[in-house]
């Protein structure tokens, strides 16, 4: 029976109450947990958190997928604290920025990651708890029952890179995350017999929603940190996976390996975000998963998810972003501030209850992105002005035109050029640096770095320094040294000209 579209928000931890008791909820390496286990362990972890924190405190996690990282979103919500998941791919410097910016009072991570932190990386007085010791302490607590927390209260801060500066924290309420789970579970037509393979990082809204939407539907999640694409294939066969989500570079890798029938026969749906699928890739996915429905999607962390394309339209409209997801209102606003006509290019603006609460402790950037909804909005209130240029056809289908900012999207990661540039200039080897993305068939975009060399410049030394300070997905593929870096007539660095140089 299809899920009803219930638009009433709830405290996020109530997701733990959705599934049937003995049905499987989480399949870990150590064995499965059913929904009764999920409720019990969320309650105990919440009680442990409540004993160490105060309402509204920020609690960070920095670990690979496992029981702790999967249950913390609900346990933090039940305890009335704010969860701050840190991507396990990030290194010490990036993690330290997030810990300091969020003011986290507690960090849960595995011992190896915690050991990399240095003096000053953690806010004064913050507690460090090794993941390996967590459950002995949590299971000694009596479980907390479902909370009565305000659905509009802050529940999580998800850090995402912007086109300039360090990662910024997007503030999400219980209602944002609950209704996001409702919307996705509804349009994907998920049910209690679904098994979702969670391959995306839980620090991303797309990855975290895989947990939440599946549990809303009463289904089971298999968290997987894979090393090679074959690991994904094996997991699909072993667990009878019905739902698989990925970004285009991962889909490309998965399309290049053999998929035995036992790994595809239970697959019902494939979902994609983080970049557009190419028509050849769509054909490959159709060939590998002939019975699965393919859902191309578009989203931004500031409003979670915005659009999806009906699987029935993928073949006839392969380049479309589709229409608004349930509980979202998507408007196209022309440069004069009015709603754009059919076929007219404009800015994508997202209104409705999925819109986040702004950026953590950053009023200036919040005011730039979160502004009053345009005239003609049904929801009104605050909307997210995406900066992405789109057009809508006469059938209401949206098409992506381009981005206003300089964000680099590589292998599904949103990368701030300035973060790479700051790391390069901090080495002392270069005087100026400009990071750009150039088209790449596998990655979406490859990172390239233009530099004006300093007196002691050596490319290999620069690469070694960047390897030590930046996560792998930020490492530049190409580095080019200029005597004078191209600038535009206004004297600003000309990113378009630099990108064209690399692409030539």
Domains recognised in the chain with CATH numbers: 12-21+30-174 (3.40.50.12780), 408-503 (3.30.300.30)
Give the pLDDT confidence score for residue 406 in this predicted structure. Answer: 73
Burial class of residue 188 (count of CB atoms within 10 Å of its CB; 0-12, 13-18, 19+): buried
**Whole-number Å distance between alpha carbons of 167 and 63:** 18
219-305-90 Cα angle (round to 5): 85
Give the pLDDT confidence score for residue 248 in this predicted structure. Answer: 85
pLDDT digits (tens, 9 = 90+) for 283-295: 999 999 999 999 9
pLDDT digits (tens, 9 = 90+) for 47-84: 999 999 999 999 999 999 999 999 999 999 999 999 99
Tell me the three-class secondary structure of 207-221, residue by residue: HHHHHHHHHHCCCEE
Give the pLDDT confidence score for residue 492 in this predicted structure. Answer: 67
What order do you get walking across the sheet with 430-440 strand by strand?
Answer: 430-440, 444-453, 478-482
Task: Please determine, for residue 405, whether its predicted confidence score (pLDDT) is greater than 80.
Answer: no
Task: Please determine, for residue 447, whether its predicted confidence score (pLDDT) is greater than 80.
Answer: yes
Give the pLDDT confidence score for residue 502 in this predicted structure. Answer: 95
Banded pLDDT at 489 (limits 50, 70, 90) = low
Give the pLDDT confidence score for residue 456 in this predicted structure. Answer: 85
Give the pLDDT confidence score for residue 496 in this predicted structure. Answer: 86
Give the pLDDT confidence score for residue 418 in this predicted structure. Answer: 81
Cα radius of gyration rounded to whole Å, the chain:
23
Banded pLDDT at 416 (limits 50, 70, 90) = confident
Give the pLDDT confidence score for residue 495 in this predicted structure. Answer: 86
Give the pLDDT confidence score for residue 451 in this predicted structure. Answer: 95
3-state secondary structure (DSSP) of residue 92: helix
- Percentage of residues in the chain with pLDDT exceeding 90? 82
pLDDT digits (tens, 9 = 90+) for 98-147: 999 999 999 999 999 999 999 999 999 999 999 999 999 999 999 999 99
**Whole-number Å distance between alpha carbons of 172 and 175:** 8
**Whole-number Å distance between alpha carbons of 190 and 198:** 15
From the list 97, 88, 91, the residue with the least C-alpha distance to 466 is 91
pLDDT digits (tens, 9 = 90+) for 172-193: 999 999 999 999 999 999 999 9
**Whole-number Å distance between alpha carbons of 416 and 162:** 5
Tokens matching residue 405: 């900012």
pLDDT digits (tens, 9 = 90+) for 336-377: 999 999 999 999 999 999 999 999 999 999 999 999 999 999
Give the pLDDT confidence score for residue 92 in this predicted structure. Answer: 93
Q: What is the mean pLDDT of the segment spanning 17-35?
A: 97
pLDDT digits (tens, 9 = 90+) for 181-240: 999 999 999 999 999 999 999 999 999 999 999 999 999 999 999 999 999 999 999 999
Give the pLDDT confidence score for residue 117 in this predicted structure. Answer: 96
Least confident of 25-39, 435-449, 490-504: 490-504
**Whole-number Å distance between alpha carbons of 41 and 39:** 6
Give the pLDDT confidence score for residue 1 in this predicted structure. Answer: 61
Average pLDDT, the chain: 94
Task: Please determine, for residue 149, whether its predicted confidence score (pLDDT) is greater than 60.
Answer: yes
Banded pLDDT at 491 (limits 50, 70, 90) = low
Tokens matching residue 442: 């596998």
Give the pLDDT confidence score for residue 274 in this predicted structure. Answer: 81
Q: Residue 14 has what DSSP assignment?
A: G
Give the pLDDT confidence score for residue 266 in this predicted structure. Answer: 98
Query: What CA–CA distances, in Å, run from 478 to 124, 260, 437, 453, 459?
Result: 39, 37, 10, 15, 10
Q: What is the mean pLDDT of the segment spanning 241-259?
A: 93
Give the pLDDT confidence score for residue 162 in this predicted structure. Answer: 55
Q: What is the mean pLDDT of the segment spanning 399-417?
A: 82
Banded pLDDT at 404 (limits 50, 70, 90) = low
> Which has more confidence, 486 or 100?
100
Give the pLDDT confidence score for residue 55 in this predicted structure. Answer: 98
Tell me the three-class secondary structure of 295-323, residue by residue: EEEECCHHHCCCEECCHHHCCCCCCEEEE
């Amino acid at each position: 029976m299809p899920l009803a579209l219930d638009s009433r928000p709830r405290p996020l931890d109530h997701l733990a109450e959705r599934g049937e008791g003995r049905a499987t909820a989480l399949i870990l390496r150590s064995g499965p947990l059913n929904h009764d286990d999920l409720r019990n362990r969320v309650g105990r972890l919440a009680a442990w958190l409540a004993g160490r924190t105060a309402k509204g405190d920020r609690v960070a996690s920095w670990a690979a997928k496992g029981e702790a990282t999967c249950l913390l979103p609900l346990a933090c919500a039940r305890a009335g604290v704010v969860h701050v998941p840190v991507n396990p791919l990030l290194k010490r410097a990036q993690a330290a920025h997030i810990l300091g910016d969020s003011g986290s009072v507690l960090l849960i991570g595995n011992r190896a990651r915690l050991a990399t932190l240095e003096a000053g990386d953690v806010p004064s007085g913050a507690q460090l708890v090794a993941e390996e010791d967590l459950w002995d302490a949590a299971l000694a607590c009596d479980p907390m029952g479902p909370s009565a927390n305000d659905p509009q209260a802050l529940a999580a801060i998800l850090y995402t890179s912007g086109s300039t500066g360090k990662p910024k924290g997007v503030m999400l309420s219980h209602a944002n995350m609950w209704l996001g789970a409702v919307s996705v579970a509804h349009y994907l037509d998920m049910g209690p017999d679904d098994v979702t393979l969670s391959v995306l990082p839980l620090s991303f809204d797309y990855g975290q929603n895989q947990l939440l939407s599946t549990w809303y539907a009463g289904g089971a999640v298999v968290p997987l940190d894979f090393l090679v694409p074959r690991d994904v294939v094996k997991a699909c066969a072993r667990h009878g996976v019905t739902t698989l989500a990925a970004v285009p570079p991962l889909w490309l890798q998965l399309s290049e390996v053999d998929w035995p029938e036992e790994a595809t026969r239970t697959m019902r749906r494939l979902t994609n975000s983080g970049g557009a699928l190419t028509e050849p890739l769509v054909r490959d996915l159709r060939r590998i998963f002939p019975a699965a429905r393919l859902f191309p999607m578009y989203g931004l962390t500031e409003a979670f998810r915005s659009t999806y394309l009906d699987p029935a339209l993928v073949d006839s409209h392969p380049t479309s972003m589709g229409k608004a997801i349930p509980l979202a209102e998507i408007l196209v606003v022309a440069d004069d501030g009015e709603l754009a006509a059919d076929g007219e290019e404009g800015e994508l603006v997202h209104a409705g209850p999925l819109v986040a609460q702004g950026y953590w402790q950053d009023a200036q950037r919040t005011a730039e992105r979160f502004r009053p909804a345009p005239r003609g909005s049904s929801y009104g209130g605050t909307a997210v002005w995406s900066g992405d240029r789109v057009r809508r056809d006469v059938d209401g289908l949206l098409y992506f035109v381009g981005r206003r900012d300089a964000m680099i999207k590589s292998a599904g990661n949103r990368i701030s050029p300035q973060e790479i540039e700051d790391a390069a200039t901090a080495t002392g080897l270069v005087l100026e640096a400009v990071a750009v993305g150039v088209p790449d068939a596998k990655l979406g975009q490859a990172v390239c770095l233009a530099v004006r060399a300093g007196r002691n410049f050596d490319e290999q030394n620069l690469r070694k320094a960047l390897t030590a300070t930046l996560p792998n997905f930020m490492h530049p593929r190409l580095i080019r040294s200029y005597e004078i870096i191209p600038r535009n007539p206004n004297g600003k660095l000309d990113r378009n000209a630099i990108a064209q140089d690399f692409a030539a």
